[in-house]
Amino acid sequence: MVPKLFRRENLNAFRNEYNLCQHEVHTFNEIVEASNANDLEKLKWFTLFGDRMYQILLNVHAYRKGLEFGFELIDFDRYGWLRKPVFLDQEELKLGIVEMDRYGTYSTITLGHGPNGMWAYGMSINYGTAGSSCGICVHDERFSSRESALNEALMKLKNKMELHAGDSDTVNYNQKIILATLKSIKAFKIKQVQLSLFA
């Protein structure tokens, strides 16, 4: 017998109540197809990810994104959400005014890989007062090597800094920090080239 959560009337009620994004629609349609086909084995698999429909949709998506990096463990926190996998061989690079070692004076790039060797990066960008941050996670772009992930991260950070170089809002966009970060990126790339000559 199809579990109550996956019965047609409950699925229709859920569909009418929520505006789902693309990946949620895809997973929801899988559940609808499994329910219509009375595929109890597949429905049982979906129930591993929660007892509420929206929780199932988000947990299944996170799990599948984790699989792209080789993370296979299904483990939940006390609230029923899939735990964030820990990337392997993580390293953090600091770029900017690093000698002050004070928040806001430098940006960071965090590199790591999953069990299958696919790499990703997280980034904390600091312009002084303004900034942005996105930690390394399974929703990031995948890279086949540390070098390709690092090069993409350095290019992104450089582009972000150049966008605010010369900005008249020097409170949020401290030019000393921006120029020091651009200088750090340039020095790092020169070092990369030098090391590749001896590899």
- The residue-averaged pLDDT of 126-146 equals 95
What is the spatial distance between Cα 149 and Cα 18, in angstroms, rounded to a whole number? Answer: 36
Question: For 83, which DSSP code?
Answer: P
- Domain ranges for the chain: 4-67, 88-197
What is the spatial distance between Cα 54 and Cα 74, in angstroms, rounded to a whole number? Answer: 17
Per residue in 102-115, pLDDT tens? Answer: 778 999 999 999 99
* Percentage, residues of the chain above pLDDT 90: 87
Taking CB atoms within 8 Å and a gap of at least 24, the contacts of 47-54 are 47/3, 47/5, 48/74, 49/74, 49/82, 50/80, 51/5, 51/80, 52/5, 53/5, 53/10, 53/11, 53/14, 53/28, 54/14, 54/18
Residue 132 pLDDT greater than 90, yes or no: yes
Residue 13, pLDDT score? 95
- The residue-averaged pLDDT of 61-79 equals 97
| Residue 198: pLDDT band with limits 50, 70, 90 | low
Average pLDDT, the chain: 94
Answer yes or no: are the C-beta atoms of 115 and 90 closer than 8 Å.
no
Residue 2, pLDDT score? 86
What is the spatial distance between Cα 138 and Cα 131, in angstroms, rounded to a whole number? Answer: 22
* Percentage, residues of the chain above pLDDT 70: 97
What is the spatial distance between Cα 85 and Cα 137, in angstroms, rounded to a whole number? Answer: 8
Tokens 């997280």 belong to which residue?
A: 122
CA distances from 119 to 68, 69, 97, 116, 190 (A): 10, 8, 27, 9, 22
| Residue 190: pLDDT band with limits 50, 70, 90 | confident
What is the spatial distance between Cα 186 and Cα 180, in angstroms, rounded to a whole number? Answer: 10
Question: For 117, which DSSP code?
Answer: S
| Residue 166: pLDDT band with limits 50, 70, 90 | very high
Tokens 């008249």 belong to which residue?
A: 168
| Residue 199: pLDDT band with limits 50, 70, 90 | low
- The residue-averaged pLDDT of 13-19 equals 94
Closest listed residue to residue 137, CA positions, set 184, 79, 90, 169: 90
43 CB contacts (<8 Å, ≥6 apart)? Answer: 2, 3, 6, 31, 34, 35
